[in-house]
Structure 1
């Protein structure tokens, strides 16, 4: 058996979008991902669906895996012929012990690659509005470990040289030692008035910053109950924060927002949340696929064969458009055969999906749901007309029922099925329990029902209770009704039933 390859990847400081392109490529191609808590659970969503995930950090029932055991684990996995990504927080060469891992791999003749990451030493201060260098304030900076006990710190750090060696000093993992660090810096020549900042969980939704001076920072940290992990920045560059703080000013800063819609459709919502300073946490609980029920294909084929007979083609979702055209392609049906029909679309995104295929919607209601379409159709429908409704298997019955009541012959075809998806995510239940999910977004009734079921399958006995402290954002009244019927009270409602409307509502409730 040939040996596998090990990628020693820097995951960046916490924000999943700060991983490098090369690191993401390695993650996506690996058979096994070995990670710890600082690597962040978001990134695991980019691993192959069947990739093995091995957590080597601390759990309630065991301590952190020893470094020697991690080194051997990487060797053993590679000897099994597997491609392995060792995902490490920040940069693997900055206090990441990558040298020990690489050395054992080399001794065993295993190919490895060290993929640098953005170190928290520069990224975390930047997210707090603190550049580690500044032309007028600091032309150099030092990165120093603060994790060791005081006696080890004295042994590994030459305080008399380090204290004034560079304009800016950055200590990693030193929150518990902030008093001792401050004391040593003042003892060796730094004024007690020297500005200091501690940034906890920088680049993440929990980011919190405490500023002070060497003389008072210990008291301020204790008063704020600031806990690890945090980065300590010492020097005049800290004063730039008052001018340059940027991420805290974004309207969704500090908010971790659960996105439950299908991954293929989530990109717009995720991008808008991220742009506005929030942290989108993807947990797609629905998937769409071609229907597999007996006779479904024959029914669709028969319905499309009469393309010339339709007066209307009514599409109620982007998925409906996508799958409608998939079936046209499968059966070789030219869309021009629908030359008699007018196309109606529910919602601007559905209309855009049609337009991308060269068809302009003849009718687009002001209210983006079935009732709105019925209101807009009122003056256009005539008894005896025929309408084709390509929809999903879970579509509401109000549209075909009302059309038939008006004398319109209705042909319904389920062009896709909506199924439950349960992401392999052991972290979400824990995050809910710790109050680390602030808002849950629902874009359809199926996302409500499927999230509750997905949480049950992940071991959450009472999903409603787990979600009780989250704000619930529903894209429209139908979704909100489903949420309420299932024990979830919506608190955020958009004026327009679109993704953009939902984002606007998320922002508005923070003002």
Structure 2
């Protein structure tokens, strides 16, 4: 009989993916299946393994695509298959997250579980908006209540009167639709109309907005500002404070849309957010490998005849060496070969496999790679170029002017990745920059629907990682505004920083 798996109830935090706990992230990275809802950050889904089963259950107030009982059964069924399951929930599993109901269902079925606490928005969203939930001399306690009513007619809970009379900070989660009922209820139960109040939309997320006022005017201010759900209501003296972060970041206020493979986009996202930028993933690219195809098998078989192997991307390095092993060879097969790499990032990837690049141009462009390589080779050399099917042919054109023989072999292709539910949005309206890390990325963006966004390119600056990528963009009628001087994640970040300043 197959042993049951384990279910981990993981709190994803208030929205900002960096606010998930280290333990929660570890469980997510190593699970076999993740059951998630619309309250969890979509960016966290990028942390799961490639073969992890992702199941969207869409729980949000007023729009349940799967009933709680069905979710309970799903968790039990997945665990009975022997899978390690993460139930990814917004905030903390036990703060209005119905985690207790899932625990009871797992207990009843004899399924082992673990609860991994998360940062609740009741505290984090306030802090992000500059409101301390407690403060010496103003608030010695805080109290959290669901903003839902007991009926469709809008009946406040029977203990609301006692809640309203409490001192300290009062926090209502998921209650924007009942703002009027809550505010009037607080005043009716004795709170002064002059009590400071605030409403925070999308706390800790890039679209965070905050409206401040008092109980007497907060409704009107919210209506005028157009605040929408999800939002948190705060009442208490601390709502008048503004302890917003004053740390200076080079890209503070900058909104950037990025494209690329999960590996590259992940690194770029981390770099840009560390500089204070707000990042939106426009399009993910997936890699289709041909490393064990007939043509590459033939190339591996003929490795003893090559004197140089030239890599034009880090992807090519990874695919080449994994294919080498999968086809029955090991690193001894390339012990006699010299390596050329297009840039520092590619050279670093090569070093991970124990090989130093024999030639890397100062400028990380294919043309510079070709021109430099031409000076190092002779008619006695034979060069292998394993790379993307959409890679630049400039290298070939220059090598054809030499006496050396070379074989250009398609090792992989890069195509647009089908996004998970709610994971990506290609709209670029409102962004300051859009980045492209390859010609393949440019082509995939427009082929997947970016053509509809061409009019918005007049209001956004387009950043390309190099000249080849910029040339691909030109074929779609748009010149690059910025081209990174260094062919790398840092190069793109530096180009944006210099321009944004």
TM-score, reference length from structure 1? 0.80
Q: How far did 1:118 drift? A: 1.2
**Pair 1:447 & 2:441 matched:** yes
Is the 2:17–2:43 Cα contact (8 Å) retained in structure 1?
yes
5 Å-filtered alignment, 1:253-332, equals 253=253, 255=255, 257-261=257-261, 263-275=262-274, 276-281=276-281, 283-287=283-287, 289=289, 291-302=291-302, 304-306=303-305, 310=307, 314-322=310-318, 330-332=329-331
CA distance in 2, matches of 1:22, 1:436: 35
For residues 122 and 389 of structure 1, do their structure 2 counterparts lie closer, same or farther at Cα, with a shift above 3 Å needed? same
Q: Give the 3-state SS of the residue equivalent to 1:178 in structure 2.
A: helix
Q: How far did 1:346 drift? A: 2.7
Q: Give the 3-state SS of the residue equivalent to 1:333 in structure 2.
A: helix
* Partner in structure 1 of residue 71 of structure 2: 70
Q: How far did 1:392 drift? A: 0.6
5 Å-filtered alignment, 1:19-34, equals 19-34=20-35
Residue of structure 2 aligned with 1:481, choices 471, 485, 490? 471
* Partner in structure 1 of residue 406 of structure 2: 411
5 Å-filtered alignment, 1:398-477, equals 398-405=394-401, 407-412=402-407, 414=409, 416-420=411-415, 422-428=417-423, 431-432=425-426, 440-452=434-446, 455=448, 462-465=449-452, 469=456, 471=460, 472-477=462-467
CA distance in 2, matches of 1:362, 1:108: 60
* Partner in structure 1 of residue 57 of structure 2: 55
Q: How far did 1:224 drift? A: 0.4
Q: Which runs of 5+ in 1 are unaligned?
A: 456-461
**Pair 1:347 & 2:343 matched:** yes
5 Å-filtered alignment, 1:6-405, equals 6-48=7-49, 49-57=51-59, 64-78=65-79, 83-148=84-149, 154-159=156-161, 161-163=162-164, 165-241=166-242, 243-245=243-245, 251=251, 253=253, 255=255, 257-261=257-261, 263-275=262-274, 276-281=276-281, 283-287=283-287, 289=289, 291-302=291-302, 304-306=303-305, 310=307, 314-322=310-318, 330-333=329-332, 337-338=336-337, 344-353=340-349, 364-374=360-370, 380=375, 384=379, 386=381, 388-394=383-389, 395-405=391-401
* Partner in structure 1 of residue 494 of structure 2: 504
For residues 437 and 260 of structure 1, do their structure 2 counterparts lie closer, same or farther at Cα, with a shift above 3 Å needed? farther
CA distance in 1, matches of 2:358, 2:283: 36
CA distance in 1, matches of 2:97, 2:14: 12
For residues 85 and 435 of structure 1, do their structure 2 counterparts lie closer, same or farther at Cα, with a shift above 3 Å needed? farther
For residues 54 and 356 of structure 1, do their structure 2 counterparts lie closer, same or farther at Cα, with a shift above 3 Å needed? closer
How many residues are paired up?
490
For residues 4 and 175 of structure 1, do their structure 2 counterparts lie closer, same or farther at Cα, with a shift above 3 Å needed? same
The C-alpha deviation readout for 1:144-172, integer Å capped at 9, x for no partner, is 2222269866434333x434534222211
Is the 1:8–1:112 Cα contact (8 Å) retained in structure 2?
yes
Q: How far did 1:173 drift? A: 1.2
CA distance in 1, matches of 2:296, 2:218: 69
Q: How far did 1:465 drift? A: 1.3
TM-score, reference length from structure 2? 0.82
Range that drifts further, 12-21 or 409-418: 409-418
The C-alpha deviation readout for 1:393-418, integer Å capped at 9, x for no partner, is 4332222322331x341423538323
* Partner in structure 2 of residue 458 of structure 1: none
The C-alpha deviation readout for 1:4-39, integer Å capped at 9, x for no partner, is 543333221112232233333444454543332112
CA distance in 1, matches of 2:154, 2:106: 29
CA distance in 2, matches of 1:504, 1:16: 23
Is the 2:93–2:99 Cα contact (8 Å) retained in structure 1?
yes
Q: Which runs of 5+ in 2 are unaligned?
A: none
For residues 346 and 148 of structure 1, do their structure 2 counterparts lie closer, same or farther at Cα, with a shift above 3 Å needed? same
CA distance in 2, matches of 1:247, 1:280: 22
The C-alpha deviation readout for 1:352-401, integer Å capped at 9, x for no partner, is 445667776665444321223355567x4676463635431433222232
Is the 1:374–1:399 Cα contact (8 Å) retained in structure 2?
yes
